[in-house]
């Protein structure tokens, strides 16, 4: 296939859906429950709701929304640290748009910007580096977040800053890694995931080989998947086929972009600039060992945590927030007490309502299950 509308062809979708329906009837689970497939990536969550795939698939199949939206898993304490950096008069704080709306314990970056702080939305860390070059009297901080997908561009901007000797540029590094996170999901008590839709963008960087342990040690299938409707349906079909045959393999549906060995040009700058943290705190999931990275000693001068002497603090979510339960797949988004009432994409109470990739925002924006709110 060559053009995007071919990946949205309703005739092909109907054919795959028919085969999925047959496979679902043929798969026998040891417990009386739906087959559960976790889409790890927030991009898949968005596509599933945008195209209504969850409504087209048989009732015997259920999607569990995974922790793959980096904005959604940002703890309040990190937002509070951003606020404390941005409150310095000599700082220009830069970040991607979504991160500006995540609530901290008292306010978001957008609230602080409204009060006059110099907080700027950028499209890439290189934009932030340009701001630093143009404002040598200011300290310019880039708030780096995201999985392996966004790490290479952050790493390259730090390498460039060192090369051209821009000494007023800092990174507040909150990049996270996918493999320990999937492992934490697999190790969580009561885990009932039958297979994984593997994250397409992350796989583009790391390849498919790092997922081998999921099949070898946990005996679960994973299919690295693209983001168009037929990509997702084909990947679900591939997972179900494995389940029916009693197999657990790592497969690659997204071959047009993902290589088994990953992308060396992207992996090299990551290992040049970053090292693993001992642990990283996730909203709703708690602390996960080795699930985040920090700037290594070679590039220490660019580390905002060192420059601003940031402290590790833990800030819990308000009691009414049920983001943790949604992130673990215990609750569906619309089952949260405040979904669509106190918490909406316009005024998000929890982080899952902020990004379009957040499960709550995707449910809310595409108008599904809204009738369920009224029944509560």
- Binding residues (CB under 6 A) for ligand SF4: these are 321-323, 326, 333, 336, 338-339, 343, 349-350, 352-353, 360
Place of tokens 């700037």: 295
Instruction: Classify residue 95 as left (phi > 0), alpha (psi -120 to 50) or beta.
Output: beta
CB of 223 vs ligand SF4, minimal distance in Å: 27
Q: Which residue is nearest to ligand SF4 (CB)?
A: 350
Of 193 and 336, which has the nearer Cβ to ligand SF4? 336
Q: CA–CA separation, 225 vs 189, rounded Å?
A: 26
Q: CA–CA separation, 292 vs 290, rounded Å?
A: 6
The alpha carbon of 192 is separated from its chain's Cα centroid by a whole number of angstroms, namely 21
Between the alpha carbon of residue 344 and those of residues 22, 40, 76, 334, the distances in Å are 38, 23, 18, 11
Q: CA–CA separation, 41 vs 70, rounded Å?
A: 9
Token digits of residue 52:
């209504």
Contacts of 320 (CB under 8 A, 6+ apart): 337, 338, 342, 349
Q: CA–CA separation, 347 vs 78, rounded Å?
A: 19
CB of 342 vs ligand SF4, minimal distance in Å: 8
Write the DSSP assignment of 142-209 as a string of letters: EEEEESTTTHHHHHHHHHHHHHTT-TTEEEEEEEB-HHHHHHHHHHSTT----EEEE-HHHHHHH-SG
Contacts of 367 (CB under 8 A, 6+ apart): none
Q: CA–CA separation, 209 vs 262, rounded Å?
A: 8
Of 169 and 339, which has the nearer Cβ to ligand SF4? 339
8-state DSSP, 311: -
| Polymer length of the chain | 376
């Amino acid at each position: 296939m060559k053009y995007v509308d071919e990946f949205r062809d309703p005739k092909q979708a109907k054919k795959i859906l028919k085969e999925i329906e047959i496979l679902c009837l043929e798969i026998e689970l040891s417990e009386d429950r739906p087959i559960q497939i976790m889409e790890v990536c927030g991009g898949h969550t968005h596509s599933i709701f945008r195209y209504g795939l969850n409504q087209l698939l048989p009732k015997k199949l259920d999607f569990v929304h995974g922790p793959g939206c980096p904005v959604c898993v940002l703890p309040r304490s990190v937002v509070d640290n951003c606020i404390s950096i941005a409150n310095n008069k000599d700082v220009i704080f830069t970040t991607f748009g979504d991160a500006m709306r995540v609530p901290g314990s008292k306010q978001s970056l957008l609230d602080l910007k409204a009060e006059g702080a110099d907080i700027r939305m950028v499209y890439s860390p290189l934009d932030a580096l340009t701001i630093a070059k143009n404002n040598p009297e200011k300290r310019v901080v880039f708030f780096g977040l995201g999985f392996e997908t966004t790490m290479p561009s952050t790493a390259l901007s730090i390498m460039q800053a060192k090369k051209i000797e821009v000494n007023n540029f800092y990174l507040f590094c909150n990049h996270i890694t996918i493999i320990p996170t999937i492992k934490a999901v697999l190790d969580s008590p009561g885990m009932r995931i039958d297979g994984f839709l593997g994250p397409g963008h992350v796989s583009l960087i790391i390849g498919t080989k790092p997922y081998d342990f999921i099949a070898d040690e946990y005996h679960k299938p994973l299919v690295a998947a693209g983001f168009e409707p037929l990509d997702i349906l084909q990947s679900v079909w591939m997972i179900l086929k494995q389940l029916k045959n009693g197999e657990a393999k790592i497969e690659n549906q997204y071959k047009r972009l993902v290589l088994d060995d990953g992308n060396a040009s992207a992996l090299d700058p990551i290992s040049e600039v970053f090292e693993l943290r001992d642990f990283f705190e996730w909203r709703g999931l708690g602390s996960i060992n080795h699930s985040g990275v920090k700037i290594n000693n070679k590039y220490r001068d660019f580390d905002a945590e060192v420059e601003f002497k940031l402290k590790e603090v833990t800030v819990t979510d308000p009691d009414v927030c049920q983001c943790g339960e949604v992130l673990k797949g215990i609750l569906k988004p619309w089952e949260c007490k405040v979904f669509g009432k106190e918490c909406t994409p316009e005024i998000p109470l929890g982080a899952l309502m902020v990004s379009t990739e957040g499960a709550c925002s995707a449910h809310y924006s595409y108008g599904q299950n809204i009738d369920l709110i009224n029944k509560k």
